[in-house]
Amino acid sequence: MHSCGILRNPGRPSNTSGDRAAELRHTRNRALLLLGFWRGFRGDELTRLQVEYIEVSPGQGMSFFLPHTKGDRQNKGVTLKAPALNHFCPVTAYTAWKELAGLDSGPVFRSVNRWGKIGNQGLHMDSLIPLLRTIFKDAGVADPDNYSAHSLRRGFANWATGNGWDLKTLMEYVGWKSVQSAMRYVDAVDPFFQRQIESRLNLPMVKNIISKNQG
């Protein structure tokens, strides 16, 4: 997944001069992508987010309480967190959508009809997947129909591992309980360990060992 391209352009409003429906959809889609990506949410988790279970700490981050999750066998619920960022910030995107849509309770992500009326119910999985594919297509992603409700989680997992996160840190952040669950989402971004080895060649100790043994 070309994550930065998608996050930068999740479908621009078709009429910035006054099309409220387009503005609402654009703002919702941006929040959907940024929350889904940076939190590593599955599609079903995005559809179950509730406004009253989200707390925002401006400039720091936000927390989400999910009463039920896939791995929560005791139904105790789980609290997850996402950071505020200087770019592509999920906190800013969520706040913008919540304020524009006038949401104070209920589902976070809802339908928006052609007249700009916001639905009372949360998005259903049957509508979320086509919506994600439309967003990917508008962002210029190749083969958007190949993406699914797990693509944002997979995209984040591969972004994280490609930027130096170890598997333990990734599992703790996303909430995976087993290595097997994590590895289903992580592609072989560095199959020959080239990136990891080259990134350590600049360490002084490594340089000294190599230089002393040359020749």
- Read off the pLDDT of residues 127-163 as tens digits, 9 standing for 90 and up: 999 999 998 898 888 898 998 888 999 989 989 888 8
The residue among 107, 126, 148 that closes a domain is 148
Total domains present in the chain: 2
Domain that holds residue 160: 150-215
Q: What is the mean pLDDT of residues 68-77?
A: 69
Arithmetic mean of pLDDT over the chain: 82
Please say which residue of 148, 173, 195 terminates a domain. Answer: 148
The reply to whether 81 and 5 lie within a common domain is yes
One DSSP character per residue, the chain reads --HHHHHH-S---S-TTT-HHHHHHHHHHHHHHHHHHHHT--HHHHHT-BGGGEEEETTTEEEEEES--TT-TT---EEEEEE--SSS-HHHHHHHHHHHHT-SSSBSSEEE-TT-PEEEEEPPHHHHHHHHHHHHHHTT-SSGGG--TTHHHHHHHHHHHHTT--HHHHHHHHT-SSHHHHHTT---SSTT-HHHHHHHTTSHHHHHHHHHT--
- Dihedral sign, Cα of residue 159, residue 90, residue 125, residue 141: negative
Q: Tell me, what's the pLDDT at 190?
A: 57
Task: Tell me, yes or no, whether 196 and 133 share the same domain.
Answer: no
Are 140 and 160 members of one domain? Answer: no
Least confident span in 32-46, 93-107, 148-162, 178-192: 178-192
Statement: residue 206 has pLDDT above 80: no
> Which range among 45-49, 72-76, 108-112 shows the weakest confidence by mean pLDDT?
72-76
Q: Domain check: are 136 and 155 in the same one?
A: no
**What pLDDT shows up at residue 57?**
94
Are 98 and 195 within one domain? no
Same-domain pairing of 86 and 161: no
Q: Are residues 61 and 138 in the same domain?
A: yes
Q: Has this prediction a pTM greater than 0.85?
A: no
Q: Give the per-residue pLDDT at 140.
A: 86
What band does 9 get if pLDDT is binned at 50, 70 and 90? low
Q: Given a cut of 60, is residue 6 above it in pLDDT?
A: no
Would you place residue 210 in the very low, low, confident or very high pLDDT band (cuts 50, 70, 90)? very low
Confidence category of residue 50, pLDDT binned at 50, 70, 90: very high
If asked whether residues 99 and 140 sit together in one domain, one would say yes
